[in-house]
Amino acid sequence: MKIKKYIFGKGRRGEKILLYTLKNDNGITVKITNYGGIITAIETPDKEGRKVNIALGFKSFSDYISNSYIDHCPCFGCITGRYANRIAKGKFTLDKKTYTLALNNGNNCLHGGITGFDKVIWVPKEISKLNQVGVELKYRSVHMEEGFPGNLDLTVTYQLNNKNELSIDYKATTDQKTVINLTNHTYLNLAGNGTNILAHSLYIAAQTKTVNNEELIPTGEFSKVSGTPFDFTSPTLVGARINDLPDGYDCNFVLENPNQKLVQAAILTEEKLGRKVEVFTTEPGIQLYTGYYIPDIKGQGGEKFGRFAGLALETQHYPDSPNHPSFPTTALNPGETFKSKTIYKFGLA
Share of the chain above pLDDT 70, in %: 100
- DSSP-derived letter for residue 28 is -
Residue 228 CA: distances (Å) to CA of 80, 133, 223, 250 = 29, 42, 10, 14
Report CA dihedral (187, 190, 194, 200) to the nearest 10 degrees: -90
Question: 248-299 pLDDT, tens per residue?
Answer: 999 999 998 888 899 999 999 999 999 999 999 999 999 999 999 999 999 9
pLDDT at residue 170 in the model: 98
Residue 24, pLDDT > 90, answer yes
Nearby residues of 89 by Cβ (< 8 Å), 6 or more positions away: 103, 107, 108
Do the Cβ atoms of 9 and 36 come closer than 8 Å?
Answer: no
- DSSP-derived letter for residue 321 is G
- The pTM for the full model equals 0.97
Query: Cα–Cα distance between 103 and 107 in angstroms, integer?
Result: 6
Q: How many CB atoms lie within 10 A of CB 278?
A: 18
Q: Catalytic residue positions?
A: 185, 314
Residue 231, pLDDT > 90, answer yes
Query: Cα–Cα distance between 119 and 55 in angstroms, integer?
Result: 19
Query: Cα–Cα distance between 126 and 135 in angstroms, integer?
Result: 5
Longest dimension (CA), the chain: 59
Question: 239-259 pLDDT, tens per residue?
Answer: 999 999 999 999 999 998 888
2-194+290-348: CATH number: 2.70.98.10
Rg from Cα positions in the chain: 19
Question: 195-230 pLDDT, tens per residue?
Answer: 899 999 999 999 999 999 999 999 999 999 999 999
pLDDT at residue 340 in the model: 98
* Residue type present at position 17: I
Query: Cα–Cα distance between 196 and 304 in angstroms, integer?
Result: 11
Residue 21 CA: distances (Å) to CA of 1, 2, 43 = 11, 8, 11
Query: Cα–Cα distance between 171 and 27 in angstroms, integer?
Result: 29
Q: How many CB atoms lie within 10 A of CB 153?
A: 15
pLDDT at residue 73 in the model: 85
pLDDT at residue 258 in the model: 81
What are φ and ψ of residue 321, in 5° steps? Answer: -55, -35
Average pLDDT over residues 339-344: 98
Average pLDDT over residues 80-103: 97
94 pLDDT tier (thresholds 50, 70, 90)? very high
pLDDT at residue 337 in the model: 98
58 pLDDT tier (thresholds 50, 70, 90)? very high
Residue 4, pLDDT > 80, answer yes
H-run or E-run covering 61: helix 61-64
Strands 97-100, 79-80: pairing is unpaired
Residue 193, pLDDT > 80, answer no
Residue 7, pLDDT > 90, answer yes
Average pLDDT along the chain: 97
* Residue type present at position 22: L
From the list 7, 182, 219, the residue with the least C-alpha distance to 81 is: 182
Beta partners for residue 86, in sequence order: 110
H-run or E-run covering 127: strand 123-128
Query: Cα–Cα distance between 336 and 327 in angstroms, integer?
Result: 19
Sign of the torsion angle spanned by Cα atoms 300, 293, 73, 279: negative
Residue 95, pLDDT > 80, answer yes
Share of the chain above pLDDT 90, in %: 95
